[in-house]
Structures are given as C-alpha cells and as structure tokens.
Amino acid sequence: MTAVIKARGLRKNYGRFEALKGIDLDIEPGKIIGLIGPNGAGKTTAIKAMLGLTDYQGELKVLGFDPHTQRHQLMQEACFVADVAVLPRWIRVHQAIEYVEGVHPRFSRTKCEALLAKTKINPKSRVRELSKGMIVQLHLALVMAIDAKLLVLDEPTLGLDILYRREFYQTLLNDYFDNGKTIIVTTHQVEEIEHILTDVMFIKDGQIVLRSTMDEVAERFVEVMVGPENREKALALKPIDERQVFGKSIYLFDGISRKDAEQLGETRTPGIADVFVATMKGAYK
C-alpha cells in the first residue's frame, strides 16, 4: 500500500529556531489522524510543509508529489481548511460555488448544494451576512464537494460553539470520509475528536513523540485509582502521571499489563487528553 505521506529527516528552521527536528513519517490511506501538540510544537509548520506552503530540508512526498516543486499537481488531489475561512466577505454563496466549480476539475456542484441544503444558508446571501458557524459550514461544503484524496484541517472549529463543532465532525465522518481518503486534523479540543480518529500523533518540540492507532493507545495505556495501601506498589511501576481525586491517587501507566494494573485498584482506559497531558509534561514551561 502506497503511503499518502512519507517523510524522512524532515526539518525546518526559522533562523536559529528548529521548528521540525528530523521527522520520519509514513501515513497510509484511509486514516483519520489527529495531529496534536501544544502551541509552538511544530504542527502548523508540518502542515505547511505537507501542502507546499513552506520550504524544508529532508525528503517529503505527499500523494507521490514533492510539495515544494509539484504543488499545483498536489493541490488537485488535496484540500485544506484553515482555522479562519478565507472566503471574500462580499461574495454571495452561489458565486462562491460557481467560482470553485470553474477552477477545480474535481469539484461537484451537486454534492456541494446537497450539503448546503442541510444547513440554513441562503444561496443568495453574502458571506458577510453569515454567522461564523455558517461560514465554516459553507467552507466545509465547498471543500467536501471536491473529490480529494487528502484533507487537512488546521483547528477548523476554532471559535465555534459546541453544537457547531459536533455537527462539523459528524458531517465530516458521515458525508466525506471513506477508505480511499485520508484526513489530518489538528485541534486543541482533543476530547471532541477522539471518537472519530483512527490514529493519533503527538508532536512536541518539533518531534513526533507518539504515533499510534487508537486501538494501540487503548491497549498500551491504563489508568488506575489506587488507595493509600497500594501507593508504594503503584509508584514502583513508574507511572507517567499522577493526580488526586477524593483522597485517592489516580496513576497513568504506559505499557504495564492489565493484570498488574487490576491488582492495584480500579482501572479504566484513559482518554487521549489524559495521555496527551502526561506526554507533554514540561512543554509549557
């Protein structure tokens, strides 16, 4: 199976600051990948490199293309939704549809109009007359109507309320994704997207520190609520995180057996946000 994205020794410097530190990466088709990291970790730089929006050092192929020298060919097969929709405020909805139809050969006007029919957006309205949530819906409809193999979403629901955010991801999952497509999404609202992810990548200080399927995360990490009588035993197993709840300690372990965990106390599978916080210790200092 040909990788959608293949990187070897991917680096990017801004002066003396090393934003990406030799990343090696293989991403297969049919994945929904969460690229998660704190501010300044390298998420946006990595995405810009993948989309040919910045130069880089190392080897990088996206859908078989060199993003730096073959960006035009790449963008026939890939789409990007940024944290701020870039639609002109003066344009009417139907004019935006007509424009994209005229410039992108893989755009389906029928599909776009079907997606917009599920919203309250009036085709005659100007972008400036739409709420922020409606602008995101319009932007997503325009992008999802393009038969792209790769969709990159960089904080796509930033500033939207929880109803719009849930609707956004539900639409993405139900009306766009299939086994022939790959989606990469960055967000700080980790808890809201983990149910749609197939894979997760944590990036810290310009390096990938965790790359795993969601099933592997569930098998690898375990949380245990431990009473005072088992605290020393728990500490001996070297938990990667600890917090206190109602007088009991909750420890997060990486790689211990479920049998060992169950002997310490009540166990549960941690959420991605819990694993992220433990992995990123020191990243905000």
Residue 65 CA to residue 52 CA, distance in Å, equals: 10
For the record, the structure tokens of 63 come out as 């859908």
| pTM beyond 0.85, yes or no | yes
Output the DSSP codes for 125-153: -BGGGS-HHHHHHHHHHHHHTB--SEEEE
Max CA pair span of the chain: 70
Is 283's pLDDT higher than 60?
Answer: no
Are the CB atoms for 35 and 42 separated by under 8 Å? no
Give residue-wise pLDDT tens across range 31-46: 999 999 888 889 999 9
Strand (E) or helix (H) holding 219: helix 214-220
Which of 50, 54, 51 lies closest to 14, judged by CA? 54
Give residue-wise pLDDT tens across range 215-224: 999 999 999 9
